[in-house]
């Protein structure tokens, strides 16, 4: 009888654990559905992961409002500047392969010369690009990177203020290669070259975020590897992690799963791409990016499959003077979380993990956030739900 009693007790305990975990998942769903009911954001997706796998993933609302198509964990959208973390992993992979060193001056590799006009004797290095200390300034000239896919079918009706001005600017942009883009902006004599395309400080002195600098770092990888950035990341990141629904170009993904993206006023954003695509153009789903976040958590603990433990440490330690919270395209929050966020017309994303908890969180939404209409508060509240229930799921998993 004692053996039977212990067996029943064990079964009851396991069943109780399962019920608690399921209840937590139900609670997450219920609370997120209440947040969605504010009827501000069209759709969003979330996930909670640890080293072992995905603890929770779910979509809410609509990926395509007009068609009432549900937003799911398999819905694909661009993720903005979270894309830069892929440049970071790729840089460290190239370093491990002996293709490049962090202190390599960029003019040792480029077929054209980029010289800081205020500090011509101070070389810009790969590490400067990767830590946003190169002195390269985005400014309005960076907006020339955004290219609408179907210009003839685009109307500015319904747009006002800054958004109307930006979209009118995008309509005038022409597609080109990344090297051509860099030469026009950063090489003396280039069509858009100005001294103000660089900050006043010398390379390596001060942290100033630069999308152009990030894309330039990705181009250096193309030069040293002899491969496109798309092919390099496919081989060394996407394939090993089985991220089969992801890519850098629309032609690389299943467009049936691609979300429509919206402005805060509800208008659909015309489809666009980035000339400097590595800095913000990665297309993926909550599910696929959860596999990547899981690898980041493992890598931080020296158990990753993409890089050695030493490479992960180097990538995620502080490299920016005066900004210890920024490493090689990864950043630290004030609470100690590591990751990145991203924002572009029609999207917002956030990817973070807590090294102390060995747990990470993801959120995508198919609209850019706005303080005035409450969408910023809506996503903040959704993020708090993930952070609240994540540790509870961990204990019961």
Q: Give a yes or no: residue 259 inside a domain.
A: yes
Q: Where are the alpha helices (DSSP H) in 155-272?
A: 161-171, 178-186, 211-225, 229-233, 239-241
Cα–Cα distance, 357 to 336 (Å, whole number): 11
* Mean pLDDT to the nearest integer, 222-236: 98
Q: How many domains does the chain have?
A: 1
Mean pLDDT estimate for the chain? 92
The pTM of the full predicted model, rounded to 2 decimals, is 0.92
Q: Give a yes or no: residue 8 inside a domain.
A: no
pLDDT single digits (tens) 250-290: 999 999 999 999 999 899 999 999 999 999 999 999 999 99
pLDDT value, residue 157: 86
Q: Give a yes or no: residue 11 inside a domain.
A: no
Cα–Cα distance, 252 to 244 (Å, whole number): 10
Which CATH number fits the domain that encloses residue 352? 3.40.710.10
Q: Give a yes or no: residue 197 inside a domain.
A: yes
Q: Give a yes or no: residue 212 inside a domain.
A: yes
R_g of the chain computed on alpha carbons: 22
37 pLDDT band, cuts 50/70/90, is very high
CB hemisphere CA count around 107 (13 angstroms) = 13
pLDDT single digits (tens) 364-390: 999 999 888 999 999 999 999 999 999
Rounded to 5°, angle at Cα 371 from 368 and 373: 80
* Mean pLDDT to the nearest integer, 293-305: 95
Q: Give a yes or no: residue 363 inside a domain.
A: yes
Q: Give a yes or no: residue 216 inside a domain.
A: yes
The DSSP result for 369-384, as a single string, is: --TTTTHHHHHHHHHH
What range does the domain containing 272 cover? 32-396
């Amino acid at each position: 009888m004692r053996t039977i009693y212990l067996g029943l007790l064990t079964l009851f305990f396991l069943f109780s654990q399962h019920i608690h975990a399921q209840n937590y998942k139900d609670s997450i769903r219920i609370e997120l559905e209440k947040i969605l009911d504010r009827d501000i954001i069209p759709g969003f997706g979330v996930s909670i992961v640890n080293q072992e796998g995905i603890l929770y993933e779910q979509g809410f609302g609509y990926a395509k409002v007009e068609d009432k198509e549900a937003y799911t964990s398999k819905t694909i959208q661009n993720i903005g500047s979270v894309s830069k973390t892929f440049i970071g992993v790729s840089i460290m992979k190239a370093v491990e392969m002996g293709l490049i060193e962090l202190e390599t001056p960029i003019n040792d590799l480029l077929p054209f010369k980029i010289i800081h006009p205020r500090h011509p004797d101070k070389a810009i290095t790969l590490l400067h690009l990767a830590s946003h200390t190169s002195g390269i300034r985005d400014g309005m000239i960076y907006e020339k990177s955004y290219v609408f896919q179907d210009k003839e079918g685009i109307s500015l009706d319904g747009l006002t203020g800054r958004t109307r001005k930006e979209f009118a600017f995008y309509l005038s942009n022409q597609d080109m290669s990344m090297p051509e883009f860099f030469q026009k902006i950063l090489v003396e004599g280039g069509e858009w070259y100005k001294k103000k395309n660089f900050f006043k400080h010398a390379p390596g002195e001060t942290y100033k975020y630069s999308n152009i600098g990030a894309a330039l770092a990705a181009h250096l990888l193309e030069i040293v590897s002899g491969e496109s950035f798309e092919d390099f990341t496919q081989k060394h990141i996407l394939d090993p992690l089985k991220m089969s629904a992801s890519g850098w170009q629309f032609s690389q993904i299943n467009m049936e799963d691609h979300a429509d993206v919206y402005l805060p006023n509800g208008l659909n954003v015309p489809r666009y791409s980035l000339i400097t695509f590595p800095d913000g153009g990665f297309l993926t789903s909550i599910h696929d990016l959860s596999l990547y976040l899981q690898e980041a958590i493992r890598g931080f603990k020296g158990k990753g499959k993409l890089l050695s433990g030493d490479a992960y440490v180097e990538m995620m330690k502080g490299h920016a003077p005066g900004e210890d919270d920024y490493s090689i395209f990864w950043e630290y929050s004030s609470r100690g979380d590591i990751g990145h966020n991203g924002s572009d017309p029609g999207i917002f994303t956030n990817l973070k993990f807590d090294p102390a908890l060995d747990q990470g969180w993801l959120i995508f939404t198919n609209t850019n956030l706005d303080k005035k209409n409450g969408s910023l508060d809506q996503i903040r509240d959704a993020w708090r739900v993930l952070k609240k229930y994540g540790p509870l799921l961990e204990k019961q998993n």
